[in-house]
Structure 1
């Protein structure tokens, strides 16, 4: 008798759970299936920090020596005065749409402009000559360079720096 009650309880719970989760519309129509993420071929390999050296970043950036360099599995950040100070950031996004990054720039008041880096589409967006971000698309992947002078007097145009560093990364991709 115990097995029958156990089976009955399991069936009742399963039926109850199957009936939950609706949107309150009892019209009898099934909700639309969620779209699955699109599978894309991986882009090229960029190497650590986009295959750009600390010296190359320092030369392009033109600021005092870096006080910190952070490296992790998806990118690097070079800082001259700690968090919030002048910095350069490289990020590599695998299987992520570049449009989301572009939309984020536009949402916070940095209109993006289409660019091409060695035959690859992308965008560039800036803010008052102190910040520039640049993304380059490779199918379902993209790389992103961000150059921020913060309150410091820019040593170079941040978009020129971002573009030069992106050119290096793209030329060294494997």
Structure 2
């Protein structure tokens, strides 16, 4: 009798285990990108080396940084034998605070102008040798900046960052 009860318990346990597995809900499918209103990721925030050359009307900028966070094209300008290090950059900040960015630009003495690019709010910060555009979407901020020691050799600096920010927004917004 003990053997019969033991066998019945074992069979019942197997049946319950089999039934229990089928009755459990399947894990939810992984979500696609959350609809938080964030920018889509793209190399250099969607802008190519050719776009840089076209916007600046010169080929003095060479890409020296290409990372998940952004890119930097260095101006091929020398001070004697030392590279000036000026250039064009784009960065993508997750969870950035536009007010902090605005305050840093004001502390640098730049003129701040509010703007919108492709429906996203932002601001422009500029002076004689630099122009930056910051654009926010959800918790993301994309910035485009140009700094040079010889702004006379280029088109208006803000026209360059305006063009690059527009291209970027069209491609990652």
Aligned-partner Cα distance in 1 for 2:41–2:113: 24
Aligned to 1:28: none
Spell out the pairing of 1:15-164 with structure 2 (5 A cutoff). 41=36, 43-81=38-76, 84-128=84-128, 130-151=129-150, 153-164=152-163
SS, match of residue 152 in structure 2: coil
| Structure with the bigger percentage of helix | 2
Q: 1:134–1:163: 8 Å Cα contact kept in structure 2?
A: yes
| Structure with the bigger percentage of strand | 2
Segments of structure 2 that go 5 or more residues without pairing to the other structure are 1-34, 78-82
TM-score, normalization: structure 2? Answer: 0.70
Cα RMSD, aligned residues only: 2.0
How many equivalent residue pairs?
Answer: 134
Segments of structure 1 that go 5 or more residues without pairing to the other structure are 1-39
TM-score, normalization: structure 1? Answer: 0.70
Aligned-partner Cα distance in 2 for 1:105–1:154: 24
CA-to-aligned-CA distance 1:35-67 (integer Å, 9 cap, x gap): xxxxx9361214010111101111102233334
- Quote the offset at 1:89 in angstroms: 0.3
SS, match of residue 153 in structure 1: helix
- Quote the offset at 1:140 in angstroms: 1.2
Change in CA separation of 1:79 and 1:160 when aligned onto 2, cut-off 3 Å? same
SS, match of residue 161 in structure 2: helix
| Higher Rg of the two aligned structures | 2
CA-to-aligned-CA distance 1:92-128 (integer Å, 9 cap, x gap): 0011112211110001111311001011110001111
